[in-house]
Amino acid sequence: MLQKVQNFVGAGASGASRLEPAEKVFSEFEQGLLAIASDTNQFSVQLDETGACVEVPSRLPNVLMFPLVQFVSELAQGIDAVTRSEFNIQPVDRGGDQHLMIRMSTSGLPIDEALLETVNDFFGSADVTAQERGIAIAGVKSLMDSMSGSLHLASTEVGFEVVLEAPLTQLKRRLGDAS
């Protein structure tokens, strides 16, 4: 299980990540989403205009956002409904330290309480099935916790929402060139 978590958060990933404008990085990620989207499982990316020029590590979507897409895709298997997931991305100033806030809202896909509890406290859960289902997102939460960031999963009226907030300086150190 630990190996799975490390794979999801990009531990030991080969190749250096470059710092690039967020607009380019997230545009490429959205193009990748189009390749895996289907008529019943749709994804989109919205980048706040103020964040378009912020430099982010090029690996950021693969390490932080793709596991969320995988999480949605796995939950949607066997569900006869249309799901829509939208990533809203914006920089946020937290007392002089710039953070990146990524909010993924998913509609058409309910989430059960056991899975919510497991993701929000992965190692506090004794539900092995929920741990298996939540491993991708729990790996991202572990990375956020290690950087004094946050990830919160919550149920909504139409589905669920994941709110991820990470200090940009820490992201650059962990995933790319901090220069």
Distance CA 177, CA 179 (A): 6
27 within a domain of the structure (yes/no): yes
- Can you give the pLDDT at residue 97? 87
Helix 113-120 with 128-146: angle, nearest 10 deg: 40
178 within a domain of the structure (yes/no): no
134 within a domain of the structure (yes/no): yes
pLDDT tens-place string over residues 20-33: 999 999 999 998 88
CA angle, residues 74, 80, 82, in degrees to nearest 5: 80
Domain carrying residue 82 = 2-10+17-173
Average of per-residue pLDDT values in the chain = 84
Please count the structural domains in the chain: 1
92 within a domain of the structure (yes/no): yes
pTM of this structure: 0.84
pLDDT tens-place string over residues 109-162: 988 888 888 887 776 777 788 778 888 888 888 889 889 999 999 999 999 999
Tokens 């499982």 found at: 41
Helix 66-76 with 22-36: angle, nearest 10 deg: 20
- Can you give the pLDDT at residue 8? 42
Say which CATH number the domain at 137 has: 3.30.565.10
DSSP code of residue 18: P
153 within a domain of the structure (yes/no): yes
